[in-house]
Amino acid sequence: MALSVRASKQGLDILEKARRNKGWNKDSSNWLDAAGGISRATLQRFWRGESIRQENFEAICKAVGIKNWEALVDKSPEQRTELLAEFFSYDEAWVGRERLVTKLVNKLHGSCRLLLILGISGIGKTALAERLVVNMEDWLEGDWKNRLLRANFDYENKPTDFASVAARWLEELGETVLQEDCKSEVLLQSLLKYLRCHQILVLIDSLEKLLIGNQEDGWGNFKDDSWEFFFWLTIRGIFRSRLIVTSEDFNLSCNLSYRFFITIKIFGIMNF
């Protein structure tokens, strides 16, 4: 997967002049066509100074006659700072479990596709998961904006059904989601296709919120079967992406390949 870049303030000024010379609006259909059919959402992210894929950035510039597109790129290293600001539990002073972090990062660089971190509430699952994401920076090639997906289900006011989350993730990845494609089975195939072909890191917190049950009585199966299908299919066939999941419990009614699936329990036994 290609790197992502964003325009500097000076770069946007240069592009604004070129746009006016063309007589195009900032989200003109002519511009989208000339740039190889990129989405309007991608062009809008460009104008907001957000990161987009390098090939799209180049196409946007060349469509208005700017050949030296590299001169418009913002080279300030702000993406990592923005990422850490969005994290819930990790901070730069995070210490502990260095050997475990190194071991798990190596597993994720290898064949492990799904890493499940289990433990009771407040024991440090999210902090460990976020530390792993930070240490996967080289695997992400520093492209936090376009190659990291996140869902934290610890917030009751956010939808947890698979269709809603999958649609949001696809849109964050720059994919167009049509109204008629908002069925769970269609979104499942679209999301899996993208994750199989691209190197994306997915971080899921508080997965127990997707399960039937509670902490006192125990957790059961998924409320939405599409989530079970999603996790089951991530370990089938070619899959370039990686998933890090935190939960108080996890119940997947199929035989998992331990080559692709690792479970650790904080302050418990590690299973490899």
Mean residue pLDDT across the chain: 83
Least confident of 71-75, 123-127, 247-251: 247-251
CA distance 93 to 100: 17
Look at residues 25, 49, 72 and tell me which one is the last residue of a structural domain: 72
Question: Do 35 and 121 share a structural domain?
Answer: no
From residue 119, alpha-carbon distances to 29, 203, 205, 264 in Å are 51, 16, 12, 9
Q: Domain tally for the chain?
A: 2
Confidence at residue 269, expressed as pLDDT on a 0 to 100 scale: 39
Residue indicated by tokens 């418990």: 268
Average pLDDT, integer, range 254-269: 58
How far, in Å, CA of 215 to CA of 142, rounded? Answer: 37
The CATH number that applies at residue 84 is 3.40.50.300
Question: Is the pTM above the cut of 0.95?
Answer: no
Residue 261 has pLDDT above 90, yes or no: no
How is residue 263 written in tokens?
Answer: 């479970």
pLDDT in tens, 93-136: 555 677 888 899 999 999 899 999 988 887 888 889 988 988 88
**Domain harbouring 15, CATH code:** 1.10.260.40
Torsion sign over Cα 221, 90, 80, 264: negative
Claim to verify: residue 16 and residue 91 sit in the same structural domain: no
Beta strands (DSSP E) in the chain are: 4-5, 52-53, 114-118, 148-152, 201-205, 211-214, 218-222, 242-247, 261-265, 270-271
Residues 205 and 88 in one domain: yes
